[in-house]
Structure 1
Amino acid sequence: MSYKEDEYLMLSGIQHYYFCKRQWGLIHIDQQWAENSYTVEGQQLHAKADNPAIKEKRKDMFISRAIHVSSSSLGLSGVLDVVEFYKKMNGISFAGKKGTWQPYIVEYKRGKPKKDERDIVQLAAEVMCLEETLNCQIPSSYLFYHSVNKKIKVDITKDLRDLVSDFSAKMHFYYQNKKVPGAEYFKNCRSCSLYDICMPRMNKKPKSIDNYIEKAIYSEADLCGNY
């Protein structure tokens, strides 16, 4: 499957989708948004990391910021925080720079490492988009957590790549059908900036109905017909 540029979804949305499908749908389909302290702090951190005027280079390394990337196979596009390029044989060439270079993404996060893989899945999606943009292979990249000042290496495995491909296909299915996923209620729902818009306790459907809808939406026939 190859998507056209006007069909691309926001790359950063895959983290929302992993965390809460309904949150993603409210933001990216219904265009709903609300701020809280977490979203404001995150925006301030990304504004600094994304500033293309901040440059850094050493003998065997240089940094690029705010790089626009996209993937026609995933139908995603976005802007990367930071990409570090290290001089390496069999890397990629750049005009005005001697030798070849291996890129590694550094994705900045406001808080600390999560118990789930939402940040890891976002990073894997970014890697896949950068690989397609630069026509290269990137075996690993990094998450930097601001509150604990910690940089974590993440191997971009086949399982992660498959998960990204699966999520992006389902995101496109929802988006094309203008269907916002049903509500679920979790203990961290109240920390979501969209809690009052989502009203998860009121909109949550019985599990049996959710299961039926999931099966109907993601039947093999439907997915084959749309992708």
Structure 2
Amino acid sequence: MDDLLPISALQHYSYCPRQFALIHVDQVWAENRYTAEGRILHERVDSGAAEQRRDVRFERSVMLRSELHRLTGKLDLLEVHGGERYIPVEYKRGKPKIQDWDRIQVCAQALCIEEMRSIRVEEGAIWYWEVRRREVIELTEEIRKVTIAAIESCHRLIERGVTPQPTVEESRCRACSLRDQCRPDRFRRDGSAHYTRKLFEL
């Protein structure tokens, strides 16, 4: 299949559908301090080799794929406890969030692992660099439904090939590396913005 969605794109979509479309439909990218720090963090994590500590195996840079959900990506760390309990671990440069942006990404990783290894993944984790803390994520039916809905929305948006209007959450624009390319203030002043946004209420 040649229409596989990068798992990392789900975090972009959850944060802002316009950011997702600029990156994955229009192929626009720009780096700022936050994206650079994130890239460096992942390079450090990816450089580690697999290892075994007692009954836990640590597999790094694990390639993931799902034919069912049309996903592909690379997992920072997979912990295998006792050969049967699998925990995907994602590394993030920031700090824990109230919103599910990061949890959706980890849940999508779990969906891939379940399909690839024919097992059930009950939990995942995110290690946040800024606060040096690990957040455990229970992969409930609720977060699974939210994740699958986000996956389906991403595929539909790519198929339409149209870039949505900027998010109504203006505070998110300040940290976005694509602010100059997006020009959210200009589009928010456009009287057609409300109408166009309605088209993308998926």
- Structure 2 length as normaliser, TM-score? 0.93
- 1:135 aligns to what? 118
**SS of equivalent residue, structure 2 residue 84:** strand
Kindly state the Cα deviation for residue 130 of structure 1 after the two structures are TM-superposed.
Answer: 1.2
Name the aligned partner's letter for residue 213 of structure 1. Answer: L
Q: Structure 1 residues 65, 189: CA separation in 2 closer, same or farther (over 3 Å shift)?
A: same
CA contact (8 A) 1:50 1:80 kept: no
For residues 123-161 of structure 1, the C-alpha deviation after alignment (integer angstroms, 9 at most, x for no partner) is 111111111111110000111111111111110011111
Kindly state the Cα deviation for residue 211 of structure 1 after the two structures are TM-superposed.
Answer: 5.2
CA contact (8 A) 2:165 2:197 kept: no
- 1:121 aligns to what? 104
- 1:23 aligns to what? 19
Q: Does 1:209 align with 2:169?
A: no
- 1:94 aligns to what? none
Segments of 4+ moved more than 2 angstroms: 53-56, 204-208
Name the aligned partner's letter for residue 62 of structure 1. Answer: R
- Percent identity over the alignment is 32
Q: Distance in 1 between matches of 2:91 and 2:110?
A: 14
- Structure 1 length as normaliser, TM-score? 0.83
Match of 1:154 among 137, 143, 146: 137
Kindly state the Cα deviation for residue 203 of structure 1 after the two structures are TM-superposed.
Answer: 1.7
- 2:75 aligns to what? 80
CA contact (8 A) 2:59 2:79 kept: yes
Q: Distance in 2 between matches of 1:142 and 1:212?
A: 34
Q: Distance in 2 between matches of 1:59 and 1:166?
A: 38
- 2:49 aligns to what? 54
Kindly state the Cα deviation for residue 62 of structure 1 after the two structures are TM-superposed.
Answer: 1.1
Name the aligned partner's letter for residue 9 of structure 2. Answer: G
Q: Structure 1 residues 174, 108: CA separation in 2 closer, same or farther (over 3 Å shift)?
A: same
Task: Name stretches of at least 5 consecutive residues in structure 1 with no aligned partner.
Answer: 88-99, 219-227
Q: Distance in 2 between matches of 1:101 and 1:63?
A: 13
Q: Distance in 2 between matches of 1:23 and 1:212?
A: 17
Q: Distance in 1 between matches of 2:88 and 2:167?
A: 32
For the aligned residue pairs, the C-alpha RMSD in angstroms reads 1.5
Task: Name stretches of at least 5 consecutive residues in structure 2 with no aligned partner.
Answer: none
Kindly state the Cα deviation for residue 19 of structure 1 after the two structures are TM-superposed.
Answer: 0.3
Name the aligned partner's letter for residue 74 of structure 1. Answer: H
**SS of equivalent residue, structure 2 residue 144:** helix
Q: Distance in 1 between matches of 2:177 and 2:98?
A: 20
Q: Distance in 2 between matches of 1:83 and 1:45?
A: 17
Q: Distance in 2 between matches of 1:196 and 1:214?
A: 22
Q: Distance in 2 between matches of 1:168 and 1:114?
A: 20
Q: Distance in 2 between matches of 1:191 and 1:175?
A: 24
- 2:153 aligns to what? 170
